[in-house]
Amino acid sequence: MDEQVVPAQGLTRRGFLHATGGLGLTAVLAACGANGGSSGGKGSGKGPIRALFMKQAGYSEDDIAKMTAEFQKANPDIKVTTDFVAYEALHDKIVAAAPAHTYDVVLIDVIWPAEFGLRHIVADVSSRWPASWKSEMLPGAIATTEYKNVFYGVPWILDTKYLFFNDDHLTRAGVDPAQLDTWDGVITAAKAIKKSGVTQYPLVWSWQQAEALICDYAQLLGAFGGSFVDSSGKPAFHNGGGVQALEFMRQSIVDGLTNPGSTQSLEEDVRKIFSSGQASAALNWTYMYGLADDPKQSQVAGHVKVLQTPAGPAGRPGVNGSMGLAVSAQSQNQDAAWKYVSYLTSQPVQNKFALSSLPVWKTSYDDPAVVKTNPAVVPQAKKQLADMILRPQVKNYNAISQVLQAELQNGLLGKKSPQQALNDAADQAGSLLNS
């Protein structure tokens, strides 16, 4: 140690400072300059590509590994690497990886095409879209990757929230499943279940301060006839149906019908609580059926039933929770990326994995093979997928969503009245919508 200290101080100081100072100056100059980024390229249609997916809901890691293996067999000159992150980390990972051109294909949520498209993070693929897709895909699916008549990807996971219930709980509490057709009926049923002592908290939701909360809220907002923004683009969730939806949510907590853990739960928590038999009914995405009905992962297998989302006074729109596959604008190998995207979104592949996620293609829903793969959800999906509610399609959606999440939680936790919470959210969101 002593030997190292002495020479460093001998030469030293000045020479060392000169040398390192030069390096430092270079770093500073580099930092100040505008470093020219290269934009993407079509590439040769061969070579390595890297794709980013999410871990939960929709197709499982296993499904995607199988699809990719099949694709590799058919396209030996393209080498695909796949990465998976939690949904909660997906957006930020795409953003952080964009300047480094890490990914060629990224999975994007229905709320991101405006943001990613306008910021040139994902490529405009309108010219690659065959005209026939527009008539062959369900309208709710097409809206997933489209922003202002430009396509920023291909719809892949077509999803909305269904009502899952445990028929054993209902039977034991003497509740008729037909009651679950309306939100009023759900509350009546939940009261009866609670009274009978079958479960302490019959309902569980994904109301953690996260996008999951907005999805549940969107579905209720639609049922109560509210809307996120009015025709002039100003916030409208603090009027009418938007407030009633939050009042409904809060009341279900006050009445002890909703599991108080809901405000800290994501979709996976909902699945686990439902699968352990601690909840009688819950909203969740398609994927919950396969897992909750699997005896290896669930204590309620065989008792899981699926319904359309219950109706409110204004109908029963399901939240559009679809996702699409996009080609990175920075990708140097966009042709190969597109081949992979087209393969994963193709009808035969989607039909095969319909248990995890339903196809975006209209005719799939009448295909007996698809119905057989997921006999519980397909009939409900056929009715539900025609009636969907979109969250606002705006460039700074995330900032608005964060404001709304926090205020919804203030309302849910009783820190503010529902009206006050939503007024406060509308105040803050208003200025964000204008910027």
Partner 1 sequence: MTVQQPTRRGAAARTAPGRGRRVSAGEARFALALLIPAAVVVFGVVLYPVVRTLVVSFFDVDSPLPGSYPFVGFRNYARVFHDPRFYPVLGHTLYFTLVSTALELVLGVVMALILNAPLRLRWFWRSVAVMPWALPTIVNGALWRLMDNGQYGVLNAVTTSLGLGAHQWLGSPFLALNMVIVADVWKNTSIVAFFLLAGLQTIPSDLYEAARVDGAGAVRAFFRITVPMLVPSIAVVLILRTIEAFKVFDIIYVMTGGGPASGTQTVAFYTYLQAFSNQLFGYGAALSYLVVLAILALALGYLRILRQGALAGVQ
Q: Are 70 and 344 a contacting pair, CB within 8 Å?
A: no
137-196: contacts with partner 1 (CB under 8 A): none
* Closest by CA position to 237, among listed 393, 410, 404, 413: 404
Site stretch for partner 1 (CB under 8 A), options 12-20, 75-83, 157-165, 372-380: 12-20
Taking the CB of residue 44, how many other CB atoms lie within 10 A of it?
12
Counting DSSP H helices and E strands in the chain, the numbers are 19, 13
Site stretch for partner 1 (CB under 8 A), options 169-177, 281-289, 374-382, 391-399: 391-399
H or E, element range at 212:
helix 211-223
Is residue 85 within the footprint of partner 1 (CB under 8 A)? Answer: no
Task: Print the binding letters for residues 88-117 with partner 1: x by CB under 8 A, - otherwise.
Answer: x--xx--xx-xx---------------x--
User: E strands along 158-245, which residues?
Assistant: 162-166, 203-204
Is residue 297 within the footprint of partner 1 (CB under 8 A)? Answer: no
Residue nearer to partner 1 on the CB measure, 81 or 200: 200
H or E, element range at 218:
helix 211-223
Is residue 14 within the footprint of partner 1 (CB under 8 A)? Answer: no
Is residue 2 within the footprint of partner 1 (CB under 8 A)? Answer: yes
Distance of CA 36 to the CA centre of its chain: 33
Using CA atoms, how far apart are residues 95 and 92, in angstroms rounded to an integer? 5
Using CA atoms, how far apart are residues 429 and 168, in angstroms rounded to an integer? 43
Residue 364: CB minimum distance to partner 1, A: 34
* Closest by CA position to 101, among listed 49, 54, 151, 145: 49
Residue nearer to partner 1 on the CB measure, 98 or 360: 98
User: E strands along 104-149, which residues?
Assistant: 105-109, 146-147
Residue 201: CB minimum distance to partner 1, A: 9
Is residue 13 within the footprint of partner 1 (CB under 8 A)? Answer: no
Q: To 10 degrees, what angle do helices 241-254 and 418-434 make?
A: 140
Site stretch for partner 1 (CB under 8 A), options 28-36, 48-56, 228-236, 339-347: 28-36
- Which residues lie closer than 8 Å to 414 by C-beta, 6 or more apart? 250, 253, 254
Site stretch for partner 1 (CB under 8 A), options 5-13, 131-139, 309-317, 359-367: 5-13
Binding residue (CB under 8 A) for partner 1 from 349, 410, 429, 433: 410
Is residue 16 within the footprint of partner 1 (CB under 8 A)? Answer: yes
Residue nearer to partner 1 on the CB measure, 82 or 428: 428
Residue 362: CB minimum distance to partner 1, A: 35
Residue 23: CB minimum distance to partner 1, A: 5
Using CA atoms, how far apart are residues 391 and 395, in angstroms rounded to an integer? 12
Is residue 69 within the footprint of partner 1 (CB under 8 A)? Answer: no
Is residue 79 within the footprint of partner 1 (CB under 8 A)? Answer: no
Using CA atoms, how far apart are residues 188 and 175, in angstroms rounded to an integer? 9
- Which residues lie closer than 8 Å to 61 by C-beta, 6 or more apart? 53, 55, 84
Residue nearer to partner 1 on the CB measure, 17 or 65: 17
Binding residue (CB under 8 A) for partner 1 from 55, 66, 120, 303: 120
208-267: contacts with partner 1 (CB under 8 A): 208-210, 259-261, 263-264
Is residue 55 within the footprint of partner 1 (CB under 8 A)? Answer: no
Exposed e or buried b per residue across 229-244, where buried means at least 16 C-beta atoms within 10 angstroms of its C-beta: beeeeebbbbbebbbb
Site stretch for partner 1 (CB under 8 A), options 22-30, 142-150, 237-245, 338-346: 22-30
Is residue 391 within the footprint of partner 1 (CB under 8 A)? Answer: no
329-388: contacts with partner 1 (CB under 8 A): 330
Angle at 42 between CA 40 and CA 46, to 5 degrees: 120
* Residue ranges in contact with partner 1 by CB under 8 A: 1-2, 5-12, 15-16, 19-20, 23-24, 26-28, 30-32, 34-37, 88, 91-92, 95-96, 98-99, 115, 119-121, 208-210, 259-261, 263-264, 269, 273, 278, 330, 396, 398-399, 402-403, 405-407, 409-410, 413, 415, 428
